């Protein structure tokens, strides 16, 4: 399905750009597109130096890529270890019979993602057919290149072990043998020939004239060098390999895939013609759906094999399709994503976008809490206690606080409001003192609620306004109380999920959970620290600076050790911090310091005039900070903030060192200790790196889009 | 009627009005540098005062002291009967009565034009949203850019930005407007300012637009080195200045 850019209906329905006039803007002329040869001349062979750099770096890339391919597809790789341990890698010991809960979590995230992307995506934008077909052809070519580059497969015996040979005997006397012994000389000659060519062409001014000769000559020499390297490796290996021709034949499926991709790309390219190619756009999401769709579909038809690890038994059924417990949920997830994406687009077309943005963002913040404590943890609620204590307390705070807010947000409350807020702060403080001295045992939950109430009451006058505005404040308070009390009740109830470790879940699950909660904690802390560090009050400045400098000066791993191993010694007997909570707190305290510095950079970028203008129109300090300063500061600091988010996400791999079964540790220690896969590590580590990379790369991509979108209207 | 007769008549008329801004011996230092030196002036209700002076003479500093963007160290500033002290409540009160248009406009770049205008009425004046939007529309109409409401400041021309800045200040329904040196004032903006002056707004305008000073000002104040050198009606000021320094300044600028 495509959305042509000029379609007036699409533009009118979904235009975010409020400044888009009625008249359609004139089409911007395209960059003239270069032919492949022109592109090569311009970018890679524009001068002798560039030509030589191209030659040297392509040889280098060739070696690296070939090494990686040979490593990945070698007969010695036991990828079965990864396939078998897939659930282990992602959720560790989360019980199989409760696995539906995991899928509910994935589903919830799919629904939110679909809605968000659907609501936010620019209609009429997306990937042009030109780019799509080029990418398709490019992918096909890369696969074809990979097929050729990878060395021929080893010949294996009945047990799957590669046959070895005596090298000198096997290739002695042949051309391959000669090449093997003289490889270095031949390569050196080829490189020198490249240099000589460069000099000669330079004298002829061929580079300047842009003729094809240098490219062809250099290209031929580079190909010859590749050939030398490939033959040399083939000849010098101790493993008996099939012939090159057999290898190419064996990879028929890969050839087919490469041809299909390149063919599809070429068909698009030729079929559409120049103008339509450039002006027809397909939403990026559809490309994602197509790729995911092919993968999900293949799980139903292609014999990927069914591998697993259930109740101590390894399952290995190479000939069958993926297990129903895997393919069915993934199919549902994809359908959910597609459905919610379209729902988002419909809502957007109905101009509900702006209204839904805030609730959607709130949902994103709330989701991790709900998923972890309500879904994954499956808490066993004590209903007597809930009905007798939790519920009445929540109702009391919601109603009492709601009344207070309603009253304090009256536009003309004036001095009385400040007095009431001050009294509330005093009561809240007294509660803590009383609890500390053991006068009367108010529950901690109530004390925290009171404190929250007092703080919000102090700030309430900033959000005063007409009836609807006051109603909003009250609603926000009631919602906060409902969520807060509900969550505390959940946290206080024991979990019914039975796992062998302290942690509910391990593997990539815990990596994600720790990363998400770290960021949820660290972001507000970072903002507060940054504000404190730029505040006018010296005490705030000093404290925040001290905090930041301490945490930036200490290695993260020591912070983690402190919070997982030592911190408990300081706590009262009755209290212990489980490892994951401790680690999360450590991560959060640490990243808060870095986030604070990034945000401080953003704060400094907010010009003084903005403060003065806010003051001149009479905004209070709180309003100025919330409505004017922070939005601008955060926008400026998106790139470093995302950098920090990615760093935090990757740093969770340190969890392995403090003894938590995170993603890395499963690959590194758990799989390699299984009787079936003793010592098999590299596959897992490569897989883990790939997944980390995939997530980090997407975050970085997303942040670039975010920057572009928020940069709207700035000059 | 001679020039001096007119001046006398105006002076008598003005004397009868309420004092809007009173400055008495205002001194201000930046470090060791004295930026304001014994500024004493009274600005009456509905009066339009143009402040002139060479660069660095302290015009901006004075105007900024009047809504407490800068704090003065000595002397008294009373705005609409409220004295400016460190008391936060007084500052709040003054700021909601004094509108200010900055030299650099200082619009909020992340908010649309409409949001720039409605922000303060909603959060400071506690106006219902609909009412504030209504007000914003009428103000943008008044300054002549009703069609730009949905744009962001970065997408506007300089003159349009200036008008948004005026609309934003007017949205607080101030009794006093301070204009700090709208340098390259375009005709439309001058028209808006003239119209404001005619509508009876008390205005203090730092400007180099002599045309505006001649046509609209009730009084011209000339500053140099943080001091008020000379005060007078435009007729008197431009045709028959008393002080040497004023003459020199006028000869350079006209
Ligand atoms: N924040 C500050 N810190 C130190 N000195 C300052 C500060 N603000 C202004 N000054 C100094 O005070 C003097 C008066 O400045 P002011 O901005 O009031 O001049 P001005 O009359 O508005 O000049 P212009 O016509 O160039 O805008 C100048 O010498 C300036 O250097
Ligand atoms: Mg100035």
Q: Which of the pair, B108 or A442, is modelled with greater confidence? A: B108
Mean pLDDT of A584-594: 95
Task: Give yes or no for residue A25 having a pLDDT over 80.
Answer: no
Q: What is the pLDDT of residue A167?
A: 64
Burial label for A251, CB within 10 Å (0-12, 13-18, 19+), is: buried
Cβ distance A631 to B110 less than 8 Å, yes or no, reads: yes
Tell me, yes or no, if A102 comes closer than 8 A to chain B by beta carbon: no
Give distance in angstroms: CA of A362 to centre of ligand 2.
44
Nearest chain B Cα distance for residue A12, angstroms: 15
Mutate to test the interface with A, among B70, B89, B104, B126 (most CBs of A within 10 A): B126
Tokens standing for residue A116: 């968000």
| Judgement on whether residues A466 and A526 belong to the same structural domain of the protein | no
Q: Which residue of A has its CA nearest to B98?
A: A616
The answer to whether residue A179 is domain-embedded is: yes
Does A682 lie in the same domain as A539? yes
Based on the fold, state whether residues A417 and A515 are members of the same structural domain: no
Mean pLDDT of A598-624: 94
In a domain, A337, yes or no: no
pLDDT at B181: 75
Q: Is residue A459 part of a domain?
A: yes
A175 shares its domain with A119: yes
Q: The tokens 């004590």 sit on which residue?
A: A382
Q: A169-178, A192-201, A286-295, A471-480: lowest mean pLDDT where?
A: A169-178
Cα A661-A666-A672 angle, rounded to 5 deg: 135
pLDDT tens per residue across span A542-583: 999 999 999 999 999 999 999 988 888 887 766 677 888 899
- pLDDT for A310 equals 76
Q: Which of A481, A496, A526 is the last residue of a domain?
A: A481
The answer to whether the Cβ–Cβ distance between A632 and B110 falls below 8 Å is: yes
| Site residues for ligand 1, CB cut-off 6 Å | B 30, 33, 35, 53, 55-61, 181
* DSSP codes joined into one string, B158-215: HHHHHHHHHHHHHTT--SEEEEE--TT--HHHHHHHHHHHHTT-EEEEE---HHHHHH
Instruction: Say yes or no for a CB contact (<8 Å) between B102 and A612.
Output: yes
Backbone angles phi, psi at A34, to 5 degrees: -85, 150
What is residue A169's predicted lDDT score, i.e. its pLDDT? 64
Same domain, A304 and A389: no
**pLDDT tops 90 at residue B212:** no
Range of lowest pLDDT (A18-22, A371-375, A524-528) = A18-22
Cβ atoms of A686 and A89 within 8 Å: the answer is: no
What are the chain A neighbours of B161 within 8 Å (beta carbons)?
none
Residues whose CB falls within 8 Å of the CB of residue B71, separated by 6 or more in sequence, listed in order: B28, B65, B86
Counting ligands in written order, the one closest to the CA of B53 is: 1
Ligand nearest to the CA of B35: 1
- Tell me, what's the pLDDT at A144? 94
Is the Cβ of A635 closer than 8 Å to some Cβ of chain B?
yes
Is residue A18 a part of any domain in this protein? no
| Residue predicted with more confidence, A240 or A421 | A421
Per-residue pLDDT reduced to its tens digit, B125-140: 888 989 999 999 999 9
* Ligand 1 atom nearest residue B223's Cα: 21
Residue A675 lies in a domain: yes
Q: Is residue A427 part of a domain?
A: yes
In our burial notation (b when 16+ CB lie closer than 10 A, e otherwise), range B167-195 reads bbbbbbebbbbbbbbbeebeeebbebbee
Task: Decide if A25 touches B, using CB distance below 8 A.
Answer: no
Mean pLDDT of A316-333: 90
What average pLDDT does this structure show over A203-216?
A: 78
Q: What is the pLDDT of residues A562-572, one digit of tens each?
A: 998 888 888 77
- Residue to test with chain B: of A459, A609, A617, A632, most B Cβ within 10 A: A617
Quote the ligand 1 centre to A537 CA distance (angstroms): 26
Q: Measured between beta carbons, which residues in chain B are less than 8 angstroms from residue A460?
A: none
**pLDDT, position B161:** 92
Q: Chain B partners of A610 at a C-beta cutoff of 8 Å?
A: 106, 108
User: Residue B128 is nearest to which of A464, A468, A614, comparing CB atoms?
Assistant: A468
Q: Are A120 and A233 part of one and the same domain? A: yes
The number of folded domains in chain A is 3
Distance CA A65, CA A150 (A): 9
- Give the per-residue pLDDT at A27: 55
Does residue A1 surpass a pLDDT of 50? no
The confidence band for A30, taking pLDDT boundaries of 50, 70 and 90, is low
Of A330, A351, A370, the residue that ends a domain is A330
Question: Do A512 and A406 share a domain, yes or no?
Answer: no
Does A628 sit within 8 Å of B126, measured CB to CB? Answer: no
Who has greater pLDDT, A500 or A84? A84
Closest-CA residue, ligand 1 atom 1, reads: B30
- Per residue in B243-252, pLDDT tens? 888 888 888 8
Same domain, A519 and A463: no
CA distance B213 to chain A (A): 25
The rounded percent of chain A whose pLDDT value lies above 70 is 92
What pLDDT was estimated at residue A202? 83
Instruction: Please state which of the ranges A177-181, A667-671, B38-42 shows the lowest mean pLDDT.
Output: A177-181
Residue B216 has pLDDT above 90, yes or no: no
pLDDT mean across residues, chain A: 85
Say if A591 falls within a structural domain. yes
Residue from the list A18, A464, A610 with its beta carbon closest to the beta carbon of B150: A18
**How many beta carbons lie within 10 A of that of residue B51, not counting itself?**
27
Band (A130; pLDDT cuts 50, 70, 90): confident
What the block records as the tokens of A150 is 């990878």
Nearest CA to ligand 1 atom 22: B60
Question: For residue B176, which of B26, B67, B72, B102 has the smallest C-alpha distance?
Answer: B67
Confidence (pTM): 0.86
With CA atoms as reference, report the closest residue to B20 among B201, B214, B242, B215.
B201
Confidence of residue A399 (pLDDT cuts 50, 70, 90): very high
d(CA A590, CA A594): 7
Nearest CA to ligand 1 atom 24: B55
pLDDT: which is higher, A234 or A639: A639
Sign, Cα dihedral of A166, A170, A173, A179: negative
Q: Which residue of A has its CA nearest to B110?
A: A632
Average pLDDT, stretch A63-84? 87
Q: Which structure tokens are listed for A161? A: 């072990």
With cut-offs at 50, 70 and 90, classify the pLDDT of residue B1: very low
**Where would I find the H helices in B30-112?**
59-66, 88-95
Per-residue model confidence as pLDDT tens digits over A480-516: 999 999 988 888 888 888 877 777 888 899 999 999 9
pLDDT in tens, A237-277: 778 888 888 888 989 989 999 999 999 999 998 988 878 88
Q: Measured in angstroms, how far is the CA atom of residue B58 from the centroid of ligand 1?
A: 6
Q: Is the pLDDT of residue B179 over 50?
A: yes
Read off the pLDDT of residues A148-166 as tens digits, 9 standing for 90 and up: 888 888 888 877 777 887 7
B59 Cα nearest atom in ligand 1: 21
Chain B positions touching A19 (Cβ under 8 A) are 150-152, 155
Average pLDDT over residues A671-698: 90
pLDDT score for A402: 94
For residue A400, give its domain range: 383-481
Whether pLDDT at A21 is above 50: no
Same structural domain, A201 and A249: yes
CA B23 / ligand 1 centre spacing (Å) = 19
Ligand nearest to the Cα of B61, by number: 1
Ligand 2 mean position to B62 CA, how many Å?
9
**Cβ contact, residue pair A609, B102, below 8 Å:** yes
Percent of chain A with pLDDT over 90: 41
- Between A10 and A181, residue with greater pLDDT: A181
A463 and A556 share one domain? no
Query: Domain of A664: which CATH number?
Result: 1.10.3720.10
Find residue A714's DSSP bridge partners.
none
Answer yes or no: are the C-beta atoms of B194 and B215 closer than 8 Å. yes
The gap from C-alpha B118 to its chain's centroid, in whole angstroms, comes to 21
pLDDT per residue as tens digits for the range A615-636? 999 999 999 999 999 999 998 8
- Residue A624 included in any domain: no
Q: What is the C-alpha separation between B116 and B155, in angstroms, rounded?
A: 14
Both A170 and A112 in one domain: the answer is yes
Whether residues A618 and B108 touch (CB distance < 8 A) is answered with no
Which pLDDT value is given to residue A96?
84
Looking at chain A, which residue has its C-alpha nearest residue B173?
A: A617
Q: Read off the pLDDT band of A213 (50, 70, 90).
A: confident
Cβ-based neighbours of A117, under 8 Å, separated by 6 or more:
A285, A341, A344
Same domain, yes or no: A517 and A447: no
What order of strands is seen across the sheet that includes strand B227-232? B98-101, B176-180, B202-206, B48-52, B219-224, B227-232
Ligand 2 ion: residues within 5 Å (CB): B 60, 181
Q: Residue A336 to residues A109, A282, A329: CA-CA distances in angstroms?
A: 10, 20, 10
Q: Are B123 and A622 in contact (CB under 8 A)?
A: no
Nearest Cα residue to atom 12 of ligand 1? B35
Domain boundary, last residue among A287, A315, A330: A330
Residue A309, by phi and psi: left (phi above 0), alpha (psi -120 to 50) or beta?
beta
């Amino acid at each position: 399905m495509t959305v042509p850019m000029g379609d007036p209906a699409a533009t009118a329905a979904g235009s975010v750009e409020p400044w888009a006039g009625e008249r359609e803007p004139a089409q911007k002329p395209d960059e003239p597109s270069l032919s492949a040869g022109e592109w090569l001349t311009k970018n890679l062979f524009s001068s002798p130096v560039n030509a030589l750099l191209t030659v040297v770096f392509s040889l280098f890339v060739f070696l690296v890529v070939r090494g990686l391919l040979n490593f990945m597809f070698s007969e010695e790789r036991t990828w079965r270890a990864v396939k078998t341990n897939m659930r282990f890698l992602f959720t560790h010991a989360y019980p199989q019979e409760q696995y539906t809960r995991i899928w509910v979590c994935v589903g919830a995230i799919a629904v939110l993602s679909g809605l968000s992307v659907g609501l936010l995506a620019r209609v009429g934008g997306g990937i042009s057919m030109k780019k799509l077909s080029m990418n398709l052809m490019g992918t096909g070519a890369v696969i074809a290149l990979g097929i050729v580059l990878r060395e021929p497969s080893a010949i294996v015996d009945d047990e799957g072990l590669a046959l070895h040979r005596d090298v000198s005997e096997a290739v002695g006397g042949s051309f391959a043998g000669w090449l093997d012994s003289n490889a270095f000389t031949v390569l050196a000659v080829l490189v020198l020939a490249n240099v000589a060519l460069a000099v000669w062409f330079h004298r002829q001014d061929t580079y300047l004239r842009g003729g094809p000769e240098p490219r062809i000559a250099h290209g031929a020499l580079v190909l010859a060098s590749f050939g030398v390297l490939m033959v040399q490796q083939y000849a010098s290996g101790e493993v008996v390999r099939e012939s090159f021709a057999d290898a190419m034949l064996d990879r028929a499926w890969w050839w087919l895939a490469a041809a299909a991709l390149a063919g599809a790309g070429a068909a698009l390219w030729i079929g559409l013609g120049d103008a339509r190619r450039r002006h027809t756009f397909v939403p990026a999401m559809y490309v994602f759906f197509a790729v995911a769709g092919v993968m999900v579909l293949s799980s139903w038809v292609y014999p990927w094999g069914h591998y697993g690890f259930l109740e101590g038994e390894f399952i290995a059924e190479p000939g069958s399709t993926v297990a129903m417990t895997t393919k069915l949920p993934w199919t549902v997830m994809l359908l959910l994503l597609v459905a919610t994406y379209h729902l988002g687009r419909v809502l957007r077309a109905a101009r509900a976008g702006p209204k839904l943005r805030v609730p959607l963002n709130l949902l994103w913040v709330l989701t991790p809490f709900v998923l972890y404590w309500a879904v994954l943890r499956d808490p066993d609620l004590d209903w007597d206690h809930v009905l007798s204590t939790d519920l009445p307390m929540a109702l009391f705070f919601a109603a009492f606080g709601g009344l207070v807010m309603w009253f304090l947000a009256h536009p003309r409350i004036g001095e009385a409001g400040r007095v009431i807020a001050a009294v509330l702060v005093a009561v809240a403080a007294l509660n803590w003192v009383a609890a500390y001295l053991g006068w009367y045992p108010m529950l901690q939950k109530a004390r925290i609620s009171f404190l929250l109430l007092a703080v919000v009451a102090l700030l309430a006058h900033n959000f005063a306004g007409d009836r609807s505005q006051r109603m909003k404040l009250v609603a926000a308070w009631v919602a906060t109380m409902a969520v807060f009390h509900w969550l505390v009740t959940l946290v206080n109830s024991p979990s019914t999920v039975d796992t062998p470790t302290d942690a509910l879940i391990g593997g990539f699950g815990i990596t994600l959970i720790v990363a998400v909660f770290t960021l949820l904690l660290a972001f507000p802390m970072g903002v507060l620290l940054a504000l404190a560090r730029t505040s006018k009050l010296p005490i705030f400045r000093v404290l925040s600076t001290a905090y930041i400098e301490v945490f930036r000066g200490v290695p993260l791993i020591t912070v983690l050790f402190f919070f997982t191993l030592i911190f408990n010694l300081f706590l009262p007997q009755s209290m212990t911090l489980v490892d994951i909570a401790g680690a999360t707190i450590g991560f959060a305290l640490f990243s808060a310091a870095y986030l604070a510095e990034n945000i401080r950079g953003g704060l400094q970028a907010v010009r003084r005039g903005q403060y003065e203008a806010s003051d001149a129109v009479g905004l209070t300090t709180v309003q100025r900070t919330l409505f004017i300063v922070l939005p601008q500061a955060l926008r400026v600091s998106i790139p470093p903030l995302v950098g920090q988010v990615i760093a935090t996400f990757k740093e969770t791999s340190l969890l392995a060192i403090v003894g938590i079964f995170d993603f890395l540790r499963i690959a590194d220690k758990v799989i390699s200790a299984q009787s079936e896969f003793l010592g098999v590590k590299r596959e897992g580590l490569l897989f883990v790196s790939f997944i980390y990379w995939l997530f980090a790369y997407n975050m970085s991509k997303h942040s670039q889009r975010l920057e572009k979108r928020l940069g709207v209207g700035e000059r | 009627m001679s020039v001096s007769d007119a001046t006398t008549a105006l002076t008598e008329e003005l004397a009868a009005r309420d004092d809007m801004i009173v400055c008495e011996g205002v001194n201000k230092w930046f470090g060791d540098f004295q930026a304001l030196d014994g500024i004493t002036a009274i600005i009456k209700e509905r009066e339009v005062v143009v402040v002139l002076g060479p660069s660095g003479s302290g015009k901006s500093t004075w105007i900024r002291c009047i809504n407490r963007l800068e704090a003065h160290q000595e002397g008294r500033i009373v705005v609409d009967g409220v004295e400016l002290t460190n008391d936060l409540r007084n500052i709040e009160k003054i700021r909601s009565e004094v509108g200010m248009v900055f030299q650099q406009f200082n619009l909020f770049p992340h908010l649309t034009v409409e949001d720039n205008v409605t922000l303060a009425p909603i959060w400071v004046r506690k106006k219902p949203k609909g009412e504030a939007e209504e007000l914003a529309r009428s103000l943008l109409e008044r300054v002549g850019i009703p069609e730009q409401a949905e744009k962001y400041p970065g997408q506007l021309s300089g003159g349009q930005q200036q008008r948004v800045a005026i609309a934003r200040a007017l949205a607080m329904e101030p009794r006093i407007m301070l204009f700090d040196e709208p340098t390259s004032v375009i005709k439309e903006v001058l028209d808006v300012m003239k119209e404001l002056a005619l509508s009876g707004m008390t205005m203090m305008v730092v400007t180099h637009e002599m045309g505006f000073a001649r046509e609209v000002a009730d009084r011209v104040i000339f500053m140099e080195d943080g001091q008020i050198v000379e005060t007078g009606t435009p007729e008197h000021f431009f045709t028959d200045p008393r002080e040497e320094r004023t003459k020199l300044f006028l000869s350079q600028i006209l």
